[in-house]
Amino acid sequence: MSVPTILIPFEQLVALGLKHSDQVHYQLSPEELIQDTLRLGEGVLNDTGALVIRTGEFTGRCPKDKFIVKDAITAGTIHWNEFNLPLEEKYFHIIKRKVVDYLAACPEIWVRDAYACADPRYQMNIRIVNEKPWINLFAYNMFLRPTEEELEDFTPEWTILSAPGLKLDQSECGTRQSNAAVISFTYKTILIAGTGYTGETKKGIFTLLNYILPLEKKVLSMHCSANIGKKGDTALFFGLSGTGKTTLSADGNRKLIGDDEHGWTADNIFNFEGGCYAKCINLTSEKEPEIFQAIRPGALVENTNFFPGTTRINFDDGSITENTRVSYPLGYISNAQEPSVGAIPQNIFFLTCDAYGVLPPISKLTTAQAMRSEERRVGKECTI
């Protein structure tokens, strides 16, 4: 993708409250974002040219610190529970002001326009404003990328403001601790403060799509991977994190639709995203060649260590976290489906990590058993 020559309109920054920012980097290429990260001393290149960073204190999502603003839209339409945590609207305004003031005071910020949903009927335009260039690279990798022509009249529907360096006062902000991810459906804004874990950005968009698509568009939102065979047969792979969705979907004999988030309409399934966010603990070229080969210039690797004295990643080292990750555009997979849309699925797989021997290694479920299995799975997920 060529670097757009257009600039983000100044009045749009003013509308966000960011007019005081000294330098705004808009829609930079991956190469430029990598150079900015290296310039700031916040990452290094590995031996294959991928950018390797550390996300800081948080190396995973914090479900107990993700809040949805409870207001006229959501009060009666969300199942409030231990996963869907409510936040009073007054606290949203307090946190937003702190995030905006913090970003406005940063010497540099990075802004990206992108969209979610590969089916144009459901496209959602997103503007991401970051304190860190490597989080902006993550957004480039993970969301769908508009063309330069599309950017000329791009209007964001949702905005993500990310300030990992901002620590919140929980007594003032109504949060559990100094970090939080807050979603407001009224103001169509996601606020991320106090955490540099990039997955908060991606899961914030999935959360709002998980609310909007079934309720307003009659589309089933799904946490699953998907691929398609040579005869057009689509397969879905459901499972909790770490059960093998990404690995199984990256099958060299089938085209990859997506590895994590999809919608199911009356006539197709489509990927929400434009990239993959794969776990890379114990990654090898023999077991997962497509993912291994995707770790190259433009890919973002998180929280890994090198072999001593080298820039070669030790994928078996989980001393920082077992949740080591790599993000990369879908096009890094050689057999990616373009566009990332498939027919109504013919096969659905439920993946488990059954440590107790309750299920055989492979089980063919009846319709009733499959419904019960999915009900249990959803009960363990962070869903609306």
Beta bridge partners of residue 113, listed in sequence order:
127
290/251 Cα distance (integer angstroms): 8
Nearest one of 66, 71, 131, 126 to 105, comparing CA atoms: 131
Residue 245 is a catalytic residue: yes
SS3 assignment, position 199: helix
Whole-number Å distance between alpha carbons of 112 and 95: 22
- Return the SS3 of 100: helix
312 is catalytic: no
Confirm whether 61 is a catalytic residue: yes
> Whose CA is closest to 214, among 264, 270, 274?
264
Antiparallel, parallel or unpaired: β 85-88 and 66-70: parallel
Would you mind telling me the total number of residues written for the chain in this entry?
A: 384
Q: Which of 29, 48, 178, 241 is catalytic?
A: 241
Annotated catalytic residue: which of 98, 132, 203, 377? 203
Measure the CA–CA gap between 246 and 174, rounded to whole angstroms. 36
Among the listed residues 190, 213, 248, the one whose alpha carbon sits nearest the alpha carbon of residue 123: 213
State both tokens at 196. Answer: 């540099």
Give the separation between CA 22 and CA 156, rounded to whole angstroms.
23
223 is catalytic: yes
Strands 234-239 and 347-351: parallel
- Distance between first and last Cα of the chain: 35
Element (H, E) at 151: helix 148-151
203 is catalytic: yes
Annotated catalytic residue, options 325, 327, 340, 377: 325
| 61-to-35, 58, 65, 66, 99 alpha-carbon distances in Å | 27, 7, 9, 9, 19
- Residue tagged active-site, from 112, 223, 255, 279: 223
Q: Which amino acid is at 139?
A: A
Query: Is 97 annotated as catalytic?
Result: no
Amino acid at 283: L
Q: Residues 98, 132, 245, 377: which is the catalytic one? A: 245
Q: Are 141 and 328 in contact (CB under 8 A)?
A: yes
Among 36, 55, 61, 207, the one annotated catalytic = 61
Which among 297, 67, 276, 32 is positioned nearest to 170, based on CA atoms? Answer: 67
Q: Which residue shows structure tokens 């936040």?
A: 87
Choosing from 37, 260, 324, 327, which is the catalytic residue?
A: 260
Cβ atoms of 137 and 30 within 8 Å: the answer is: yes
The catalytic residue positions are: 61, 203, 223, 241, 245-246, 260, 325
